[in-house]
Amino acid sequence: MSHPLVLYALCGSLRKASSNRALLEALRDTAPAGITIEICELIGDLPIFNPDREADDMPASVLALAAKIRAADGLIVSSPEYAHGIPGGLKNALDWLVSRDEIPHKPVMLIHASHRGDDVLSALIEVLKTISVRLVDDSFLRINLLGKSLDQRTAILAEPETTALLSARLQRFAEAIMAFETDGVR
């Protein structure tokens, strides 16, 4: 890589024992030198989106989220499916970003911690394309952690095959980011 990459990860679940969060943490922990992944801790602090507050009354938590996204070279999104859709907190965060300039053309990697949940993936793709991100399809990662105990998840995420897959998909994402930058798209 020509320079270190900073990636910002959004988790659709606010649960402490979230399998999606565990997957993000494993990806962060296996990141090679030169790639830093910070997991967003702001989603639960955002007020409900209100377009009337986008001008002079922008909440500080939204400005903090926007600053983190602006500083990131790319985003990683991992989300469970709630009622066949995007969890409210993550959708709310994305709604706050719709009219801002931090998100368009930002490279995005989707990861998923379940063998099911295609409805949330379809919904996320639709929303992310609408807000003009650059989805890096060949970095998509799915590892089934749904219904596994903490010990089982830890074991799965520590398996050499899993860590190799995490590393390979993260490398694909990093290469795509560098290619976008070389093409002058960011």
CA geometry: angle 165, 41, 77, nearest 5 deg = 35
Question: What CATH number is attached to the domain comprising 177?
Answer: 3.40.50.360
Tokens of 50: 């209100």
Q: Which runs of consecutive H residues, i.e. helices, occur in the chain? A: 19-30, 60-71, 88-97, 118-130, 150-158, 160-182
> With a cut of 50, which residues of the chain have pLDDT below it?
186
Total domains in the chain come to 1
- CA distance linking residue 16 with residue 141, whole number of Å: 21
Which of 1, 86, 10 has its CA nearest to residue 44? 10
Q: What is the per-residue pLDDT for 181?
A: 81
For the entire predicted model, the pTM comes to 0.94
Q: What is the per-residue pLDDT for 184?
A: 65
150-169 pLDDT tens trace: 999 999 999 999 999 999 99
Q: What is the per-residue pLDDT for 1?
A: 56
Q: What range defines the domain where residue 175 resides?
A: 5-182
